[in-house]
A and B are shown apart, each in its own frame.
Chain A
Amino acid sequence: MLSKVFATIAVAITGSILLYGVSDFPAFGDPNSPANAGVTGSESVSVYCITESYKETKEPKLVTSVLADYRGYDTMFETVVIYAAGMAIFAILRVLGNKAEEDAIRSHESSFTNGDHSRIIVGTTVRIVVPVIQLFALYVVAHGHHSPVGGFQGGVILGASFIIIALAENLNAALRRFSEQNYIRLASIGILVYAAFGVAAQFYGKNFLDYGVLQPLLFTDGPEMARSHSMLGVEIGVAFTVTAIMFAIYANLSSRGQLSKGL
């Protein structure tokens, strides 16, 4: 009981210090704050991005051009972090070498509504909804240039569509559609796709992830459109990795690494 009192006091003191720090910030959306307008003598990054990014990348959405082009390294290693998280969960939880259960995944012929009558409504709903979810996920990835969100979120939605199959029936049904071999492959391919765009720029004699020089490779009108198209390619790579890792984490967590039955 005493520890809770001390914890509450510590939280209250830390919170009030943080709130005191926030009171020094410029107001929300203040155009004259240093982050937005820059300090005297040096132009701020946000002003540069707002005025120049469309000219340089032909990208109507600022967020994507900053995320995938100006901060390309950042996004690449964020993807690597997600990959590493998935692999760490795989390394810790996965129980290998159980041959009987691996055979059970393949042999068990079933549909969503097979056997258990209480699952008819859930199974039928999921069977109707899953294609719609996957189409929406692909739309989110492909339309990341012009509307909010992109590869990360589309990948999460695509991974969630496999998780929903595992929830509605069992893990084996989802693993028949997206097997362990395939999700590990897809996760690695995603990062390789991203890195390939960087290395391709190096072959043309520019820096890693400098997409502008990929113009002859992508058959575009100018370096601006090459950057725009490369961003789409990079986002697709991110979506591959995130899809696979989301499903991998769920599959290993829900079955204690056995990859059978699940919840």
Chain B
Amino acid sequence: MIFAFDIIILVFLVVAALISLNVKDLLSASMIYGIYGFLICLLWAEMGAVDVAFTEASVGAGVSTVLFVATVFNTRRKSSD
């Protein structure tokens, strides 16, 4: 566990989470959520949990982002709140 690396990833993680919650365009929100998933994957790989990291990279950052995009295309792109 490298402390400085942890801090950098965690800061980016919080920033990505806040942006994906606040952005109006739902397509960009789901892409930023993909970035969030990939950052968590990096964090887990760095902590030595390679299995979990691989799952997060394939499911969290890969397929679920695609599913979000597929859903956004069937609704309106703008968030109302």
Contact = CB atoms under 8 A, between A and B. Distances in A.
A233 B71 CA distance: 34
A246 interface: yes
A25 interface: no
Nearest to B70: A254
B23 interface: no
What interface size band does chain B fall in? 10 to 19
A159 interface: yes
B1 A28 contact: yes
Interface stretch (A51-59, A150-158, A214-222): A150-158
B63 A160 contact: yes
What interface size band does chain A fall in? 20 to 34
Contact of A253 (B54, B59, B74): B74
Contacts of B71: 253
A253 B67 contact: yes
Is the contact region of chain A dominated by helix, strand, or loop, or is it mixed?
helix
A249 interface: yes
B15 interface: no
B19 interface: no
A256 B73 CA distance: 10
Nearest to B73: A263
A63 interface: yes
7 contacts: A28-B1, A159-B63, A160-B58, A160-B62, A163-B66, A250-B67, A254-B70
Interface of B: 1, 47, 50-51, 54-55, 58-59, 62-63, 66-67, 69-71, 73-74
Sorted nearest first, the 4 A-B pairs with minimum C-beta distance are A254-B70, A148-B50, A149-B54, A156-B58
